[in-house]
Structure 1
Amino acid sequence: MTNDLTSLARDGVLRVAINTGNRALVQQDGAQLRGISPALAQRLADEIGARLEHVVYEGAGKVFADAERDVWDVGFLAIDSTRAEKIAFTRPYIVIEATYAVRAKAAFQQIGDVDRTGVQVLTAKGSAYDMYLTDTLQRATLERFGTPPDSFAAFRDGLCDAVAGVRQSLEGFFEGDTNVRLLPGALTSVRQAMVLPRRDDPRLAALDAFVERAIDSGFVKANS
């Protein structure tokens, strides 16, 4: 099945979309990218004998927006039924949690406390938790703003009453900020998968088998 994936590379180069806005999957240190997504990208490039080229984004919404623009060959996104109308998902390779960051003195104690009349919730535009909140919030008002780091900064600067995000990303951004705290528990669990930019791509089965091998061999666990 590995041979079926060699056609993903163009002139020996595999372009892989990497979302640096999700610290659970990617950690950036200057030009260096670490974490499970870059590790899987390199493993795939090595298997098919291609040179890896990172196509770096600061938010999942931008990765998805570029799916039809021939900018990347393989990517990493949260599984979502709306996105699945356009792109192809493998099985999930990891499941991560999203939660809220709130003001330290706010009355919110649990996830459910946030969905109240008059509360404004901030989310990164096009993120998996944006889509989840769009479907599930009943009383609070949802505001969308840029990439995850953009939305975190806007919340820090006073916008809205809570901001949604991947727990690790929120922890990294607000580390040492005594004015902000994270709520316990999970707002939603996000299933992360490898993706191809066309829904009907015939190479999906081979890419799914690649993910399966990476999980079964312990590679995903060792690099998460």
Structure 2
Amino acid sequence: MKIDVDAFAPTGKLRASINLGNPILANVDPKTGEPFGVSIDLARAFAERLGVELELVVFDSAGKSVQAVGEERADFGFFAVDPLRGEKIAFTAPYVLIEGFYLVHQDSPIQTNDEVDQPHNRVVVGKGSAYDLFLTRELKKAPIVRAPTSPAVVQTFLEQGLEVAAGVKQQLEADARQIAGLRLLGERFMVIQQAMGVPKSRGEAAALALREFVEEMKASGFVADALRKHGIAGASVAPAA
């Protein structure tokens, strides 16, 4: 379908909201300081499709990235699908599926996910992350502690002597390899559907165009190639919508 460029880039540039809080999708090159990753590859491909200049609007947390799109300080972004976020943002179908896991101290009595939701278990999450939104709804007894960003979850977990950390499996595994005395529980507590999104105020035609773009990128192998190129293990291409 023909894409209305003005609906996506009213300022003349296509502003992509990038969340560095999810290392599976975006990181910063330590030498150049430039963002790179699967979401950046998709943003560039979409800008090329529209024939406009791309501007990366970079944030350190999902909450800030979502807010930028909801307030139209960015034209589209990359988020975990969530009903609360869907009030202002029109989501595509997911392009990548990521697992959420719990991390505990090696000597913790907690062995299964079912044992987490207890009043004495404080669960730390990245503020505004998909885990924060999901666990705020799902946990009935366990108090939630919010770290400033998702990469700061394990640091907060250790500094405050908390019982449980929740986050991206790969990030928690990497932290557990570097820090002795930590272990992941044996099963995921959620599957995160990573999608693209555009402000609902841009109209249904814009939302449909973005949805079709994502389906094409999955079907063509673009997303799978991006995951391989960036060495991402543990995340999978989402099925066709």
Q: TM-score, normalised by structure 1?
A: 0.91
Residue 80 in structure 1 maps to residue 82 in structure 2? yes
Runs of 4+ in 1 over 4 A off after TM superposition: none
| Matching residue of 2:218 | 215
Partner SS for 2:4:
helix
Q: Which SS does the other structure have where 1:106 is aligned? A: coil
What letter corresponds to residue 111 of structure 2 in structure 1? Q
- CA gap 1:10/1:121 in 2 versus in 1, 3 angstroms: same
- Supply the RMSD in Å over aligned alpha carbons: 1.9
* 1:28 aligned partner: 28
The aligned residue for residue 172 of structure 1 is: 174
Change (3 A) 1:2 1:179: farther
Counterparts of 1:21-170 in structure 2, within 5 Å, are 21-30=21-30, 31-170=33-172
Moved more, 135-144 or 52-61: 135-144
Q: Which amino acid aligns with 1:19?
A: N
Q: Which has the higher contact order (CA 8 A, sep 6+)?
A: 1
Alignment coverage as a number of residue pairs:
224
Q: Could you tell me the TM-score, scaled by structure 2's length?
A: 0.85
Flag structure 1 segments of 5+ consecutive residues without an equivalent: none
Deviations 1:48-69 (A, max 9, x none): 1122211111111111222343
Per the TM alignment, residue 138 of structure 1 is displaced from its structure 2 partner at its CA by 2.5
Pair 200,4 (structure 1): closer, same or farther in 2 beyond 3 Å: closer
SS in 1 for 2:118: coil
* C-alpha contact (below 8 Å) 1:78/1:128 kept by paired residues: yes
Cα separation, partners in 2 of 1:50 and 1:140, compared to 1, 3 Å: same
Matches of 1:38 and 1:174, distance apart in 2: 27
